[in-house]
Structure 1
Amino acid sequence: MTVLVLSWENAHLHGEAWISHHRLRHQIFVGRQSWDVPTYNSLEYDQFDTPAARYLVWIDDNGQARGVARLLPTTRPYMIKSLWPELLQHSPPETETIWEATRFGCDRSLTPSTRRRVVAELICGCLEFGLANGISQYLGLMPVAVFNHVIMAAGCKVEIQAANFHMGRHDVAAGYIDVTLSSLLEVRLRAGIRQSVLHGSSGDVSQHGSNDGVSRRERAIVDNIAA
């Protein structure tokens, strides 16, 4: 059980993880939340699933996705800027230091304790990935309840934008999530996580000079700050 950083370039290295993450997205966002988004053969996808995206996928011992999050640099086309810029109190960002975070979810068939673990490790994984790749904030698009009762409750600092809209069963909003070492430490402390959650070498973003998901310097930091 681990958190993978998947992309179009490395998906073939991880068995069922890639396709099962699209199945899980269908289960969460179409089946459970009733979103009107593209689907095919019980796989959920959209126009922002591009080579620029990185996917944090929590996989079980059978290599099946049980938790997901999608990250996109705001220097490339992204959902909030393209579809809902009015959710922001200013112009949509276009900078390497802010990435969009969407499609955050967890398999509801898991036990409550396992769901809590999956969610906490996904959040830690997003923070670790951000620290390793020069990201200062995520611009999230999520149900307001997820911001309040999941992301903020886990220990992250979030600035929810005022505007929201109703999608499926939820009020959805945009919000800025700070990516800091102190946030990572707080999330780890609350969840009882004592080491890096990201798996191996699948998260490179070449323009930041890292050959794996967490640089040597950042891996040393994130592996020890909660020890």
Structure 2
Amino acid sequence: MCNCGYGDFLKTLNGMQIVVSHSANKNEQDTRFIFFRRGGVRFIFGDRETLKPAIVSNLGHYRYKVFVERLKWHLPCEEGRECDQFDRTDTMHLIALGDREEIVGCARLLPTTRPYLLESVFPALLNGQPPPSSPQVWELSRFAAVDFSQDRRSVMKQFSVREAVELMRISMVCAKYCGARKLVTVSPMGVERLLAWAGFSWVRAGRPLEFGGELVVAGYIDVA
């Protein structure tokens, strides 16, 4: 659930066209579905209950193509569709759509007050520190910016740099809307270098460790 004010969110979206759909219950002040445009890309932010079923289905196929087929991650998922135990009803998804409504990017935001990836799967990356559990800290995961219609590959395969930076910025805006002041994430070393290059405020949570033949690191990104 997202808890920050509608007016505050609009102020952070200067230059973007935005439409916000409120909960059907007028006594509730959260907003669970948002879309806005940035250039030729349309961004949708919402949970599984408010996103269209076709979008949710396409997201599973897109994540499979990125993380299983391209990155060769060994994930326990069905053929052609990637979804895990953290894709719950309270999970927020940011989806970037191209001009033909094809998915060209995605990110997942999880509240750390519920089970999340770093806490449950990668706690060793915290170097003995307790996992964060706060409404002001959200986890960013399943982050990718790949336009398969263009097949523009970067060295890191997970994204093309310009689109990834834009997706990260919008992820931070959406996290702020949900009440976050910090994001925590598990990332390959290449993503850490991208964050530093793009000027994001990134602090490691612990030393890098190898998982599945790849060095990964946990860290915090300032949102506020």
TM-score (norm 2): 0.72
| Among candidates 198, 204, 216, match of residue 154 of structure 1 | 198
Read off the aligned partner of 1:100 and give its amino acid letter.
Answer: E
Cα separation, 1, equivalents of 2:211 and 2:43: 28
What does residue 221 of structure 2 align with?
A: 177
**Structure 2 residue ranges without an equivalent (≥5):** 1-40
Task: Specify the SS of the correspondent of 2:131.
Answer: coil
Q: Deviations over 1:131-164 (max 9, x none)?
A: 2232111111111211212x22222110123333
Equivalent residues of 1:22, 1:43 under 8 A apart:
yes
What is the deviation of 1:117?
A: 4.0
Pairwise CA distance, 1:118: 2.5
Q: Distance in 2 between matches of 1:17 and 1:152?
A: 32
Bigger RCO of structures 1 and 2 (CA < 8 A, at least 6 apart): 1
CA distance in 2, matches of 1:49, 1:10: 14
Provide the rounded CA distance (Å) in 2 between the counterparts of 1:6 and 1:61.
20
Corresponding residue of 1:144:
189
The separation in 2 between residues aligned to 1:123 and 1:41, in whole angstroms, is 28
In 1, distance between residues paired with 2:104 and 2:161? Answer: 12
Mapped partners of 2:108, 2:130: distance in 1: 22
Runs of 5+ in structure 1 lacking a partner?
A: 181-227
Q: Distance in 2 between matches of 1:87 and 1:70?
A: 19
Separation (CA, whole Å) in 1 of partners of 2:98 and 2:213: 28
1:94 and 2:138 matched: no
Q: Could you tell me whether the CA contact under 8 Å between 2:95 and 2:107 is conserved in 1?
A: yes
1:39 deviates by: 2.1
My pick for the range that moved more, 102-111 or 46-55, is: 102-111
In the alignment, the residues of structure 1 paired with residue 85 and residue 51 of structure 2 have an alpha-carbon distance, to the nearest angstrom, of 18
Which residue identity is paired with 2:140?
Answer: A
Which residue does the alignment assign to 2:81? 43
CA positional deviation for 1:107: 1.5
Structure 2 match to 1:7:
47
SS of the residue 1:43 aligns to: coil
Contact 1:71 1:100 in 2 (8 A): yes
* Residues 108 and 65 (structure 1), Cα distance of their counterparts in 2 relative to 1, 3 Å cut: closer
Match of 2:90 among 28, 46, 52: 52
Q: Within 1, Cα distance between the matches of 2:59 and 2:87?
A: 12
Q: Conserved in 1, the CA contact under 8 Å of 2:139 and 2:183?
A: yes
CA distance in structure 2 between the partners assigned to 1:140 and 1:107 by the alignment: 19
Q: Which amino acid aligns with 2:79?
A: N
1:134 aligns with 2:179: yes
* Paired amino acid for 1:5: F
Letter in 2 for 1:10: T
Is residue 29 from structure 1 mapped to residue 80 from structure 2 by the alignment?
A: no
Q: Equivalents in 2 of 1:66, 1:108: separation in Å?
A: 5
Secondary structure of residue in 2 paired with 1:162: coil
**In 2, Cα distance between equivalents of 1:112 and 1:36:** 21
- Identity of counterpart residues, as a percentage? 29
What is the CA RMSD across the aligned residues, in angstroms?
2.1
1:35 and 1:167 in contact (8 A); partners too: no
Shift of 1:168: 4.1
